[in-house]
Every structure is written in C-alpha cells, then in structure tokens.
Structure 1
Amino acid sequence: MSSISLLSFQCDAGRFECSVSALRWVCEEKLSFRYQFCSWEEHRVRLSATTYMPAGPLLNITVTAGKMEEVHLPHWICVDHNSKMSDNFAVLHFDTCGDVWRKVSEVTRCHVKLLQPTFSLISVAFWRRIGFPVKVFYDVLIYMKKHQAALTLHVYLVPPDESRKQNLEKTENSCGSVRIIKPDPDRSMQLGDHYSLTTDKTDAMIQPSRRELRDDSNNSFEVFIRNADSDFLLRLESGKTTIWTCTIYKENYLSTDPTPGPSGANQQKNVPTEESYPTQESVPTEDSVLAEESYPTQESVPTEESYPTEESVPAEKKLFLVRTEFIGRVSDDVLNQLLDKLLEHRIINDGEMQSIRTKAKADKAREVIDTVRRKGTKPSSLLIAVLRELDLCLSKVLKLS
C-alpha cells in the first residue's frame, strides 16, 4: 500500500477492530468515520510540561455519520497485573482551545477503553512517576544498504507508532535502503535501561556499543560488515538478558528479489507491525487490567485500498512472500478456524491439526502457513480463500484479497 496514514471505515452496529492499527470501537447504529496517524513531535513539548509521556499513537479521528459508544485506543505500555497501573493512564485530547484530559474506563493488556468518546487529536498518555520503572513493548525495524561487498544495517527500537515508522521509512528510502522484515520482540523493554546489539559476525562493527532506551528517540544502531557473504545472527541484550534475536540470511541482502530468504528484505510501504488477538464476541469484563478483550475484525476495510494480487504468481509463492507478516499479524482465533477449515477440506489430517493446535501462537502460525504452502498450489489457494473469509482486513494488508 502506498500510504495508510488516512483510513476510512463504514460499518453496521457491532464491535470491530482495525487489523492495520488495532483501533477498536463499539457502535449501536451505522457508523462512518476516518482517522489519520499524526506525529507526536510537534505536540511533545506541550506534553513535557506535565509528568505524562506518550503511550500510544496520536490519532486524528473524525466521525462523519453515527456515533461511537466506546473506543479502545491501543497503547504500548507493559501492564503489570499486580499493580494499580490503570490509575496511571489517561486519554489526552489536543485542542486549539486547550488540552483536555479524560480518565479511562478500563485498561487491558494492549488497549484503554473510553466511553461516549468525543474526538479531536487523541492519544493514550501514561503518568511517569519518578522512581517507578516503565516497561514498554517496542518494535525492531531493520533497514539495509549494500555497497558492493559491504553491508550496512540500521536497526531501530521504536514504539508501534505508525507515524514514526512512516517518517523512518521515508528517510531510509531516500538513502536507498530497504527494510528487512523480521519478527518483533516478545519481551518488554524498560525505558532508561541500556541495551546492546551484538552479532556472531566477528568482523562486524556496531555503533554505539550500547545505548539508553528513550521514548523520545529512534534508539538506533548501525551495523557494518565489510565482506558480507553468509548468514549471521543479531541479538539485542540488556545486561545478561537476551531480549530479541533474529537471523539475517545472505539471501536477505544478496538477492535482487525484493523478498528473498525465509523472512525477506522488502521495500516496506508503511505497513505497521502489530500484535494480533483472539476474536471473541464478548465485551471485556472489568475485573482485570490484563484481560485483553477482542473484537471481530472489521469487514469494512479502508475504502481507498484494494490491494490487487498478480494472478500469475502461484499461491504458494504468495504465501511465502507474506510469511513473516502473516506470523506476526494473524490472531489465535483465526488460526484455530483456519485449522478447522483445512481439516474439513482434507488439506491436513487429524494428526497434523492436533499437533499444530497445541503450539504457541507464533509457532502455530508458522506451522499453518509452512505446512500448507509445501503442499502446493491448490492447498495454498484454499488457505488464501479461507483467510479472506475469516479476516478480510488481514487479507488486504497482506495483499491476498
């Protein structure tokens, strides 16, 4: 997609989630609205005058018809279920007449709930108290540039803020760099702690050797390898704790194919990395800040995007090209429904289904897509068709619709 900074939706009454941004909403009548990702930078000075920090993407939401009963705004704070952390969250409205703070109705693992919302520039903020550590879930973005035999990687630790990612994308693309897509960390990081990026490539040079994780910085490392000609490992560490690892395959940087290797180098077009959550019909309960509720993904996807696919590309190749994105985005509930459909159509047998179903979400997603694509074109085409039926938004993000 060329840009996802502006999204438009139309829906009937119900509970919905946008697969692109993880924004959720509840409406009791037909609803039309649009929203845009905005940069925190021009508003950060106003926020710095308070004891709060940005805790979610800054969104400009406009309802054009109907009314939202609830909005669930995404956040990137690691919520401790043993604390009263929900008291530290607030929703901030930026307005020309003055900033407005609203108390949240509920905090879950990845969202805050706001009842009877009104909209302007809106985001989640978090009260950063002195002496209390703040843990966050940040993404890792990797951009590479090849100079004959030499390889340069820029590795960023950033919040899942689409506006910031878009700005990084533009900067890196203007220098001729392309993104290597790899899974994001499963573990949280602590603001103020120092992190090091290491590699098993003995001749690699990495600058800086370590850096403090900040919420107002892109937290970047540069990796330079003079004679890059083989696979190598990247590892993010804090002290003796490993936060994240990934393998950079030589196909990721030597091939002219824009998506070579197991995870591929890809000229990213502003597709955010996001967690996927189980789809349920129920509205969240109030008894736990960690009970992350889930809504059916919105069938009415951004109206301006259609994401055509090339009919000449075999289905198994299409699945290979979106493999990493699929693993990171698909929800556990959709995976279980996919398994039922694949068994029903005899693409997999009972043994395969039971073996896959017991795995953790990422491993389950990996097994589903790899098992099916290895079986050939017809099974792969069926998986694409079933995924389109179960999660149209995700299919469009993956350009499989």
Structure 2
Amino acid sequence: MMDSEPDVKKRRSDSKGGVSSSDSDRWTPELAEVHEKFRSTLKSKFQHLNEGVPNQGESRLLQKIYTELFLTKGGGGVNEEHESNSCSLKELNLSFNELHDAGVQHLSELLKNPHCKLEKELDLSNNELHDAGVQHLSELLKNPHCKLECIPLLMEDHHNGAPQRSCESCAEVPDSSHWVLVKPEVSTEESVSTYSLSSPAGSYECAESGLRWTCAGPVTLQYRFTDWHVFAEELAHMQLGPAGPLMDIKLMSGELEEIHLPHFLCLGGSEASVCDAVRVLHGRESGVCVEVCEMTRHHARLLHPSFSLFGLVHYLSDLLFPKVHCELLLFCTCITPLELHTYLVPNDPAHIQAIHKKEVEKRGVWIDKPGAVGSLWLKDTFCVRTLCPSCPSEIQPKKNLNLWPPSTSKFFEVCMKQPEEEFDMEVISSQHTEPIWTVTIRRRDYCQPSRSPGQGSSQGTNTERLFQVRPGLISGVSSGVLRSMLDRLQVHRPPVLSSREAGEVLQRNQVLQDQVSCLVDMVHRKGDTACRIMLVLLEELDPHLYGELHL
C-alpha cells in the first residue's frame, strides 16, 4: 500500500538518504538482508523490461531503469542516488501484468509524484481494467505533475493503432496531449465494421480512428466509417474537398461535452489560412450543412455536438491543394519471388483500414516499418525504387502515381527474384529533391527463416506465423477443435472474439474448411497479440496438428 501524501512529505523532510528516522529504527540487518534477497529475485526474474524504444523489441536491463520509478531501499523516501539520476524514462510497457483497478490506483498515485521521470507513454494494455481503473488514469492525466502523453489500455492491433504523428512542419502547432488511449470493440456485419466505445468521465482517444471525446459522466458511443462518395454531388456543388474520414457517430447513452474529429491536414506555416478554409460537414436526411470549428494540430473540436454523419472538409476556392500528413503502407504478397505492395496515402484511418482489409483478403502480410512520412502537397506525385545492385527489381507501374485521389488499387508492385539478405527501399516525391522515405528491408521482415524439424519455434511475428500456416489450419482443424477454439477465444481475458463474431464464423457456411478460414482471417485482422493467443490455444487443443505445422 502506498503511504498518504502527508507521510511521504514528512519522511522526505526528515531524511537525507531516503529513509526517515522512524524507518531507520525499523531497518534491522535481518530486514535489510531479506530486502536485498527480494530485490535480487525480482531483478533476476524480470531482467528486462520492454520500454517501447524506437528499435522495436529492444529491451533494457532492469538495473538501468528501476530507480526511475522509485524502487527505493527502505520505507518510502527517494534517496540521493535516485534524485541525482538525470536520465528520463520515455515509455514503459506494463501490459499483461494483471494490475487490475487496485494496482492502477497505486500506480497512478506514484506517477503523480513530481520526481517521477516517466515522460511519454505508459502501456497498460491487457490488464483487465474497469471503470474505476480508467477513472484513476483519467485523473492522473489531469494532474499537473504527470508528464504522460497517452496510456494505451486494451488489446493492441499495432498496424491499426492511432495514426503515427511525426511532422516537423507543424511541430509548433499546439495540440492537447492528455488523452487516455482506448481500443474499441469491433463488430462486423456485411463487411461493415462498427466500433463501440464506453468510458467513465474523462478525456479519451480511440486507438482505431483517432476520434477524441470528453465527458463529465459515463458514455457509450458507436461509429462506423462511410465513403465520401455518398456526398459526391454535394461536395462538387459546394466546391468542397475531404479533409478527414467521414464518420457516422451515434451516442448510445450519456452526454458528451466535446468531440474532436480527426483530420489529415498539415497546419504548419499556414495555420490561419488552413483553419479559415475548414468546416465540419453534417449529413442528414434533409441534406448537408457546414459548421465552423476550432482546429488543433490533428483534430477539429466541437462543443456539445449533435450527431449525424460527420466529416471535415475544406473549401477548394481557399485551399485547392493543401499539405497533408501521409502514411506509407508496405505488404508482402509473395516470398519467392518477393512481391511487395507499396501504398502512399493521406493519413485517413478509414482509407488505411480499407487497404489493410483488401490486402488481408488477398493474403497479403503487413510489413511493420515506420510509416509516417511527414507532410506532402496534395498535388504531389511519387515513385518507388530499390537499392539492391545484385538483384534489380521490376516495379509496376513505371510512371509516377498521384497522391490524390486515394484508392485501394493505387499502389506500386515491387518484384525481386532473389533479393539479398537486406536491401533499401526509397520513396521519391515530385516536390522534393531527397527521398521522403527510406527504409532497410531484411529477409526476416517478410518471411520465416528455413527450419528443420525438431528445431525451436518459428521466428517472425505471430501474424506472419499464422499467415504461413493458414492452409494447414484450414485442412487440418477438426470440428471439435474449432468449437473449442471459438469458446476459448471468447472467454479469454480480454476477449479475442465477441459472441457475435463467433456466431458469424459458424453461421457463415456449413463447410468446416470455410469456417476455419473465416476464423483465421478474423483473428489475423486483429493483430499480433490475437494471433499469438490463437496459436497458444492451438498447441493446447491439438498438439499433433501444432507439431505437424512445425510451429
């Protein structure tokens, strides 16, 4: 249990090395020996912590970071060694730790301490938090001593997460940062996905779309993405262009104080003129109307909104070709020969998800590389090239592609017969003299290394592993294993599948192979964590098939 604030202040004022006089009386040699043994056990058991460092998967020794969160020797003070340590911890991953609401309450109190050096992100995903725990985190983010920018809470689907926001052009444009990042529950019916979100009082951001909201009490809302084509005539008549996703938002219960709609415009260098040109479009049965809004770096803010089809637009007469934030997406569709699909699109979560859906349906595997390319002019064209002297690539189409309008069929296909162990890929824009995106692609990024029977488990991400064994699962999973798998994926905490999704698998088709195919694809779309859980359950439910697939 954490000490109350008055006790903590008293101990600090009485101590020079982090232990008060009252603590010193209790700090016997025997107790010190037990404490040191306990600390050593923790250190050996949890030798590395994932901090979310730029090189994904890199970890740091616990010895190098444990002092940053006040693991102190003795009663509760911060000793001189800890206070003098000047380095800061940027991100800390505490997912899958079964903290629950009580643990989060204690952690929140710790992070309110002005000496705490955790500055950017605390990942608490998959910790079974309820409203009480989320409320503690919301209050934490409002605390003036808290330096955190976001707190991911639920099961992560990395490639569909909140957009990466790296743009030097608009870095000075103000944007609020204290938002609790939450993952919605997703249900799909007739290929249309509906996202459901519930929250207690606080400020929140949806990890799928970037949609933000603030509320003074509990709320439940739903939304789905809609294609701008439904308003094609209205946009042409009013001389408007899309500036973000079109979203059909419904408030199911409670009241919202504010809603912040995402946009992909870059406000850098021309903030005033861009803001003057942007409006919120409301679509109703009676027609469409536009409303003035308050712009921030990545959102448009509306107070006490009335809900309908929502989307941000800009007047073409004032802003014909604005600068927009862009994202690059890379997929592998074949390993031998290597075939890659490369997309460059405005950072519109609806369009990005449409691309992922199309590629998954065609058995494409997303390659996890930094995607943010900053901002480009909407009139830009671009091309792709590879740097691999020993294996030239064939790239189609051979001409530049236009950035606008976006389309799921607008991409470069890169084909290489026998690429080297690693090679570089670049994207070149017509408006820039230097490449706007450069990355090294290694063999392990798109395939598993060859492995003889009896060797250890396959390498690569779990999404890749599940994709590689998809044919074997479709032909090898029995009806009993399928039903057990569906049950276990629903009762897992947090659930991987909803009961509705499980029913969709069974009701879609009476052919077993089609049901298994539907399940595999459904889990694959949910990301790496969901795929890992399914593979673990397969090993438990059908170890023979698991062995045959060399997992």
TM range, smaller chain = 0.5 to 0.7
Quote the offset at 1:185 in angstroms. 2.3
Partner of 1:351: none
> C-alpha separation between the residues in 1 aligned to 2:229 and 2:424?
33
- 1:102 counterpart (258, 276, 291): 291
**Contact map agreement 1:91 1:101 (CA 8 A) in 2:** yes
Partner of 1:211: 401
- 2:281 counterpart (92, 102, 117): 92
> C-alpha separation between the residues in 2 aligned to 1:305 and 1:163?
28
Quote the offset at 1:20 in angstroms. 2.7
Pairing of 1:352-391 with structure 2 (within 5 A): none
Residue identity opposite 1:236 in structure 2? V
Quote the offset at 1:61 in angstroms. 0.9
> C-alpha separation between the residues in 2 aligned to 1:267 and 1:43?
39
Partner of 1:293: none
> C-alpha separation between the residues in 2 aligned to 1:79 and 1:112?
12
> C-alpha separation between the residues in 2 aligned to 1:235 and 1:88?
33
SS at match of 2:372: coil
> C-alpha separation between the residues in 1 aligned to 2:285 and 2:382?
39
> C-alpha separation between the residues in 2 aligned to 1:130 and 1:265?
46
Quote the offset at 1:308 in angstroms. 5.7
- 2:419 counterpart (205, 216, 228): 228
| Runs of 4+ off more than 6 Å | 256-259
**Contact map agreement 2:215 2:258 (CA 8 A) in 1:** yes
Partner of 1:43: 231
Quote the offset at 1:84 in angstroms. 2.5
**Contact map agreement 1:180 1:265 (CA 8 A) in 2:** no
Pairing of 1:297-376 with structure 2 (within 5 A): 306=494
SS at match of 1:241: coil
**1:44–1:164 distance in 2 versus 1, CA, 3 Å:** farther
**1:308–1:14 distance in 2 versus 1, CA, 3 Å:** same
Pairing of 1:65-76 with structure 2 (within 5 A): 65-76=253-264
Is 1:163 the counterpart of 2:163 in the alignment?
Answer: no
Pairing of 1:257-272 with structure 2 (within 5 A): 260=460
Partner of 1:237: 428
Worse overlay, 152-161 or 80-89: 80-89
Quote the offset at 1:399 in angstroms. 4.2
Residue identity opposite 2:407 in structure 1? S
Superposed CA deviations along residues 36-58 of structure 1, whole A, max 9, x for unmatched, are 22233333443233321111112
**1:11–1:76 distance in 2 versus 1, CA, 3 Å:** same
Partner of 2:362: 175
> C-alpha separation between the residues in 1 aligned to 2:496 and 2:255?
32
Aligned CA-pair RMSD: 3.3
Partner of 2:444: 251
**1:232–1:46 distance in 2 versus 1, CA, 3 Å:** farther
Pairing of 1:268-283 with structure 2 (within 5 A): none
The sequence identity of aligned pairs, in percent, is 30
Partner of 2:473: none
Residue identity opposite 1:166 in structure 2? Q
Partner of 2:382: 195
Residue identity opposite 1:222 in structure 2? E
Quote the offset at 1:91 in angstroms. 0.7
**Contact map agreement 2:345 2:406 (CA 8 A) in 1:** no
Partner of 1:133: 321
Partner of 1:14: 202
Partner of 2:173: none
SS at match of 2:287: coil
Quote the offset at 1:222 in angstroms. 1.2
Q: Unaligned regions of 5+ residues in structure 1, if any?
A: 269-303, 310-395
Superposed CA deviations along residues 97-138 of structure 1, whole A, max 9, x for unmatched, are 10121111x111100111121111111112233785311112
Partner of 2:211: 23
Worse overlay, 204-213 or 124-133: 124-133
Partner of 1:153: 340
SS at match of 1:22: coil
Quote the offset at 1:159 in angstroms. 2.8
Using the size of structure 2 for normalisation, the TM-score is: 0.45
Superposed CA deviations along residues 157-216 of structure 1, whole A, max 9, x for unmatched, are 123333323332332233222111211124211111221211102411122342221134
> C-alpha separation between the residues in 2 aligned to 1:243 and 1:125?
26
Residue identity opposite 1:94 in structure 2? G
Superposed CA deviations along residues 312-371 of structure 1, whole A, max 9, x for unmatched, are xxxxxxxxxxxxxxxxxxxxxxxxxxxxxxxxxxxxxxxxxxxxxxxxxxxxxxxxxxxx
Question: 1 or 2 for the larger relative contact order (CA 8 Å, sep ≥6)?
Answer: 1
**1:143–1:117 distance in 2 versus 1, CA, 3 Å:** same
> C-alpha separation between the residues in 2 aligned to 1:258 and 1:110?
40
Partner of 2:330: 142
Superposed CA deviations along residues 276-316 of structure 1, whole A, max 9, x for unmatched, are xxxxxxxxxxxxxxxxxxxxxxxxxxxx993569xxxxxxx
